[in-house]
Structure 1
Amino acid sequence: MSEIRHIVFDIGKVLIHYDPEIPFRRLIPDAERRRWFLENVCTHEWNLEQDRGRTWEEAEAELLAVHPDEETNIRAFRRYWHEMVSHAYEDSVEILEGLLDAGHDVTMLTNFAADTFAEARKRFPFLEKPRGVTVSGEIGLIKPDRAIFEHHAAAFSLEPSATLFIDDSPANVAGAKEAGWQAVQFVGADTLRADLARFGLMPRR
């Protein structure tokens, strides 16, 4: 196992909660209709293109051309985005800050629209603490594309084999490994602590 000198955190579902259902439980109370809307209109794949850099205006126009009767709910996705990121995972943030306090080099790599990330940064001050961040929507690349891992490594002078990546998505973990990084899937703070210990990385408590 290679010595780890760099640690890279994903953000959504690792450090902060993200769930589009939160506002839509109120906006579309009927569970079946809500499921249909999120699986067929404002889908994960549609939202991912904003993470790649597409503007919300373009994204909404695309859906309105196909689903004009859903205008209110389509526009609600961005309007109520702040409700979707309801809270930070305090135990994960504690690990992040403990690694920083112990002197480790920590950066972040996230699939995030540029404007919503700017909003998240204001709400969650700990996002300012690592050495830096690569935001997919700012550079037009998304995980798990190999290019975004190569971009991040170059931007922050990381040696891939000495870099540990932490992400909740199995596809993103696999993408990091294909780029030559070490990587673990985030399933919870306790498992992450065990993974870090396995790599000889113990955050200060």
Structure 2
Amino acid sequence: MSRPQAVIFDIGNVLAEWHPERVYDRLIGRERRERLFAEIDLHWMNAAIDTGAPFLATVEEWAEDHPEWSSEIRIWHDRWIDMFSPVIPGSVRLLDALRTKGVPVFALTNFGTDTFAYAQTQYDFMNSFDRAYVSGRMGVIKPDPRIYEMVEKDCGLPPESLLFTDDRADNIAAATSRRWRTHLFDGWQGWARRLVAEELLTEKEAGL
């Protein structure tokens, strides 16, 4: 099989960590955070943002709808960048190495339109993609098969020529069903080895 024609990165927990619970634990304590998340599905709120709902307005609406937790819900907006951190340096180095080799690098990410734009002001790597497929702009989130189809139509490359990494098995399964090459991300070293195996990078270029 020939080498992939493009490499596609998920972003959260691949290029930077995404752990809202960790920030809440630090700010309000684990016990109170567990109560909050049990009573209010903040990840569902975030899914709405990732599908295109406005960031601040959505958080404010949820805060107003749940006055007993309003200040805690607003943390999602006010401390969002702390939740999307730290950067995973090994993965960013791989992104840079692929670009140096002239390999097209795309992003396919569940991300709000507003939050993506904000993250671009905070992290240089967020501006490094040849194409950025952002769910908030597209109106659909992974693992809905439509988002993968939209990527294929936009980039014009055969599905089997796309190499995609994501930390979620359901997102990987959806891509695999469309004949994408896939790698379930569990650390930058494993991803580096896969890029070497696909003859996109040498071991030295991959930092191995």
TM-score with structure 2 length normalisation? 0.90
Equivalent position amino acid for 2:88 in 1? Y
For structure 1, the residue ranges without an aligned partner over 5 or more in a row are none
1:111 maps to a residue whose letter is N
Matched with 1:197 is 196
Matched with 1:4 is 4
1:93 aligns with 2:92: yes
**Aligned residues of 1:7 and 1:163 also touching (Cα < 8 A):** yes
Give the partner amino acid of 1:11: I
| Structure 1 residue 133, shift from structure 2 partner | 0.2
In structure 2, the gaps of 5 or more residues are none
The amino acid of 1:125's aligned partner reads D
Cross-structure match for 1:16: 16
Is this contact kept in 2: 1:167–1:186, CA < 8 A?
yes
State the alpha-carbon separation in 1 of the partners of residues 134 and 149 from structure 2. Answer: 13
* CA RMSD between the two structures: 1.8
1:116 alignment partner in structure 2: 115
Q: Alignment length, in residue pairs?
A: 203
Superposition deviation, residue 110 in structure 1:
0.5
Residue equivalent to 2:130 = 131
| Aligned partner letter, 2:15 | L
- Runs of 4+ displaced beyond 4 Å: none
User: Could you say which residue in structure 2 is the equivalent of 1:180?
Assistant: 179
Question: What's the offset of the Cα at 1:87?
Answer: 1.9
Q: 2 CA distance for matches of 1:53 and 1:27?
A: 28
The superposition leaves residues 46-96 of structure 1 with CA deviations (integer Å, 9 ceiling, x where unpaired) of 31121011223245424643x321111112211111111122111110111
* Distance (whole Å) between structure 1 residues aligned to residue 3 and residue 182 of structure 2: 13
Partner of 1:34: 33
With structure 1 as the length reference, what TM-score do the two structures score? Answer: 0.91
